[in-house]
Chains A and B, each alone.
Chain A
Amino acid sequence: GQSLEQPSEVTAVEGAIVQINCTYQTSGFYGLSWYQQHDGGAPTFLSYNALDGLEETGRFSSFLSRSDSYGYLLLQELQMKDSASYFCAVRQAGTALIFGKGTTLSVSS
């Protein structure tokens, strides 16, 4: 079977750092993507890791370890607008994405 595991909820305060972990068990792994979705909105792309290591994009970074079937999304200098759901997604052959159930991040002041 195929599965992606990520925490269902995370809470933090403004200015803090949060790490959202994702472990996966899938066939035909090509890479790991992260998407953000605000309430009532559409998922939007944040990052993609095909190789081991850390990718940094502004306040957000994403990490992948293929040998451990593990990745994480790191959000720094949290802002209220970062309150949203974050999904990890495994990219399989043919570009299809298998999504995790999502992590709801709540940022308070």
Chain B
Amino acid sequence: DARVTQTPRHKVTEMGQEVTMRCQPILGHNTVFWYRQTMMQGLELLAYFRNRAPLDDSGMPKDRFSAEMPDATLATLKIQPSEPRDSAVYFCASEGPSSYEQYFGPGTRLTVT
């Protein structure tokens, strides 16, 4: 049963600390997305990659957020320094070639105090 995995599932940290979230896309999926979900803003696209190359990161605050795909099995989203307004659920999703269905991971619930 192929699925997207994310770690950690929950993270509580103090403002100013670095946070790294990891995602393993479904094997064979070549497009990987990072979304953020909050009550106020809903689901927002932060960045996405195809074949490990970044295609769009315009949804990301550049000064503190960075996203990378060091290899086909790992995507990372880093926040440094973290702020209370970054508190949200961060979802990773992947999509296969010639597909229109995005598979979401379980999310990382981030709380910054």
Contact = CB atoms under 8 A, between A and B. Distances in A.
Interface of A: 31, 33, 41-45, 48, 50, 87, 91, 94-102
Given A95-B31, A99-B43, A42 B56 contact: no
Interface of B: 31, 33, 42-45, 48, 50, 55-56, 91, 93, 95, 100-107
Nearest 4 Cβ contacts at the A-B interface: A42-B104, A99-B43, A45-B101, A101-B42
Contact of A95 (B95, B104, B107): B95
| Chain B interface helix/strand/loop/mixed | strand
A41 B9 CA distance: 12
B34 to A, nearest CB: 11
Nearest to A4: B42
B100 A91 contact: yes
A79 to B, nearest CB: 22
Contacts of A33: 100, 102
